[in-house]
A and B are shown apart, each in its own frame.
Chain A
Amino acid sequence: MITMNEVWKTYPNGVMAINGIDVDISKGEFVYVVGPSGAGKSTFIKMMYREEKPTRGDIIIDGKNLAKVKERHIPYIRRNMGVIFQDFKLLPGLTVYENVAFAMEVIEESKSNIRRRVMNVLEVVHLKNKARFYPHELSGGEQQRVAIARAIVNSPAVLIADEPTGNLDPDTSWEIMHILEEINDRGTTVVMATHNKEIVNTLRKRVIAIESGRIARDEARGEYGYER
């Protein structure tokens, strides 16, 4: 599903964020990406949805090489993946329903399809009753659930998350994790960068540890392995 071959990333300012990474993630896997602050986790994640382009190496997702794909094809590649962030990235002027529907309008789905599908995913994230609310009327956990709904509404093959529980309290974080697990159970590959030791050590999954831009550890059902 996701393959990285000898991937390097040097930012224009000279910071060498990723220094030769090889990784293979199969369809349906659930992967934690852990490591100290500044290790390169976000860079690793950003290259997967092509916010950053690798300086060297290949990143093959679903048979397409993100390192070589043309600029104008990127939107179509992103449509096959859902992305979730620590700061949710919801549009403040749109309701919950509209925020989720937005991802379908972009790909020119029909109104009736949008309606059916949006109500469907809002049910998955338990927010059907708040469809008409605006983001500022929701708690952090609820906002993140909207973001998840938006990420999965087009049934992507991969769900990518950068610290999705970073801003949330432990109970709410668990709520989010259960939803992600449920999505993973339905066959979606999930890759998530996290600092949450408790979650990684409790809900055991594959753990890839990045340190100084290299893979320091890659274990199936691994541990968090850091103090924080």
Chain B
Amino acid sequence: MKGRTLGRHVKEGGKNLIRNGWMTFASVSAVTVMLLVVGTFLLIIMNVNHFANSLEDDVEVRVFIDFAASGDNQDELYSELDQIPGVASIEFVPKEEGLDSLISSLGEQGAIFETLRDENPLNDVFVVQAEDPQDTADLASEIEEMVHVESVEYGKDIFDNLFAATNFVRMIGLALILALMFTAMFLIANTIKLTIIARKREIQIMKLVGATNGFIRWPFFVEGLLLGVLGAIIPISLLAYGYTSFYGSIGTDTGIDFFTFLEPNPLTMQMAILLGSIGAFVGIWGSMMSVRKFLKV
């Protein structure tokens, strides 16, 4: 395609947008509403993911080593653990260290335990972390079967509930986003179809003078793109503004010490790019769908 032809298509697409007035308004509104909801969900999902990740980093398996195990046995166990695929790190915590941290974590009352120094009742511990936190449960049960292991511990309940909850939010969010995208796509396809019926004759004439389907499609492509991008403007500005002020007021002060909300930068930028692309995609797709059947002349 030559440059001037592209210029023509862009001009035609823009003209159609203006000429279709209310139809354009209806399509843009559909995209706007869709992207507002999609954008809101995106922000929620991203933060849920972020929350899950911060928690997941804390998920570890504590392997309590048998009292009877000798130093050599411990080394054996270590190399066995090391060979399990999916293990990210192994840290050895000797029982003395365990007692130290117990005492310091109990503060005043911890002093009582000082008497236990000589008869330390704690086990030596390996702290194992999985590469993928979702594998932690499997990893734990595998380790439990090994010799020289007295027991394992990994905060099973919190952990399972957490994954169920975050997965649920992700799924719902994704389903909602997809459903909304399709709805908006069909809305656009239908509004554009209405405007095309009026232009059916025009398309027929274009074909009669030898226009290729591509040539006819281009202005519609531009029109769909513009519809989508126009529809993205309000959601992007609104959500970016809203999220930034939300973050400004409670973003870092969440009441959970290891968790803060994602910073507006680059989150809002990523959201803007994503919403813009979704808008453009939905607009173009809707437009192309509606023009397709009018090309058979």
Contact = CB atoms under 8 A, between A and B. Distances in A.
Interface of A: 49, 51, 72, 75-79, 83, 89-91, 102-103, 105-108, 110-111, 150, 154
A201 to B, nearest CB: 30
Nearest first, the 4 A-B pairs at minimum CB distance are A79-B210, A78-B210, A103-B209, A106-B211
B213 interface: yes
A146 to B, nearest CB: 12
A89 B215 contact: no
Contacts of A72: 212-213
Given A105-B8, A106-B215, A89 B201 contact: yes
A72 B5 CA distance: 19
B145 interface: no
Contacts of B213: 72, 75
Contacts of B204: 89
A111 B8 CA distance: 11
B210 A89 contact: no
Interface string B1-24: 110110010000000000000000
Nearest to B208: A83
B14 to A, nearest CB: 15
Interface of B: 1-2, 4-5, 8, 201-202, 204-213, 215, 297
A106 B107 CA distance: 85
Contacts of A76: 210
15 contacts: A49-B208, A75-B210, A76-B210, A77-B210, A78-B210, A90-B205, A91-B202, A102-B206, A102-B209, A103-B210, A105-B5, A106-B211, A107-B210, A111-B4, A150-B209
B8 A89 contact: no
B79 to A, nearest CB: 66
B211 A75 contact: yes
A143 to B, nearest CB: 13
The majority secondary structure among interface residues of chain B is helix
B51 to A, nearest CB: 53
Contacts of A90: 205
A91 B12 CA distance: 14
Contacts of B4: 108, 110-111
Contacts of A89: 201, 204-205, 208
Contact of B206 (A79, A106, A108, A110): A106
B202 A78 contact: no
Contacts of A106: 206, 209-211, 215
A5 B209 CA distance: 26
Nearest to A73: B212
A77 B212 CA distance: 11
Nearest to A82: B209
A51 B210 contact: no
A78 B205 contact: no
B218 to A, nearest CB: 12
Contacts of A78: 207-210
Contact of B5 (A75, A108, A150): A108
A91 B212 CA distance: 18
Contacts of B8: 105
Given A107-B210, A108-B1, 11 more contacts: A72-B212, A75-B207, A83-B208, A90-B205, A102-B206, A102-B209, A103-B210, A105-B5, A105-B8, A106-B211, A150-B209
Contacts of B211: 75, 106
A75 B297 contact: no
A79 B215 CA distance: 14
A154 B209 CA distance: 9
Given A79-B210, A105-B8, A91 B2 contact: no
B277 to A, nearest CB: 30
A161 to B, nearest CB: 13
Nearest to A94: B202
Nearest to B201: A89
A110 to B, nearest CB: 8
Contact of A91 (B1, B205, B210, B297): B205
A90 to B, nearest CB: 8
